[in-house]
Structure 1
Amino acid sequence: MNQDRYSAEIDPASRHRSSYTANNGNCVELSQVPAIPDAIAVSDTWYPERPGLRGSKSAFAQLTQAVLTGELTAA
């Protein structure tokens, strides 16, 4: 079966929690999507029942760069 990045399983062993976690359950985790080598998932541990945001590694790198350089501002 050919899976896309939205339906493929996330590898629980690949979860990486933010270094800014305050041990209160309110943090962000990044995970690999093994069936899709270029895909990653971002999950909010405050709402574990909600699906993680998924995208390509390059898209998340672009988003991160835009945040760090101030290209994204509040509306």
Structure 2
Amino acid sequence: MTRTQDRYSAEIDPNSRHRSSYTANNGNCVELAQVPAIPDAIAVSDTWYPDRPGLRGSKSAFAELTQAALTGKLTAV
């Protein structure tokens, strides 16, 4: 029986990593990557903590999160 890949266990394509253009050249930035086994999945990681797993979700969920942050609709609790 073959195990079905999910967005949390699937490998990230290291060649698809994109680092934020707002990096302060101190290694503390956000990085996005594709999850090839799940075409709609994206991984977001903090390069300050490379050994920690990245946050993973759908591309549309990430777009909604980004839009909420940019428009001030995302607030800290």
SS of residue matched to 2:33: strand
Identity among equivalent pairs (%): 88
Structure 1: state its 5+ residue gaps.
none
Partner residue, 1:15: 17
Corresponding pairs, count: 75
Structure 2: state its 5+ residue gaps.
none
Q: In structure 2, how many angstroms separate the alpha carbons of the residues matched to 1:10 and 1:16?
A: 12
Partner residue, 1:44: 46
Residues 16-68 of structure 1 deviation map (CA, whole Å, 9 limit, x = unaligned): 00000111110000000000000000010000000000000000000011011
TM-score after normalising by structure 2: 0.93
Report the AA paired with residue 10 of structure 1.
I
- Per-residue deviation at 1:72? 1.1
Q: RMSD of aligned C-alpha atoms?
A: 0.8
- Per-residue deviation at 1:74? 2.7
TM-score after normalising by structure 1: 0.96
Structure 1 segments of 4+ aligned residues over 4 angstroms from their partners: none
- Per-residue deviation at 1:2? 1.6
Partner residue, 1:58: 60
Q: In structure 2, how many angstroms separate the alpha carbons of the residues matched to 1:22 and 1:12?
A: 22
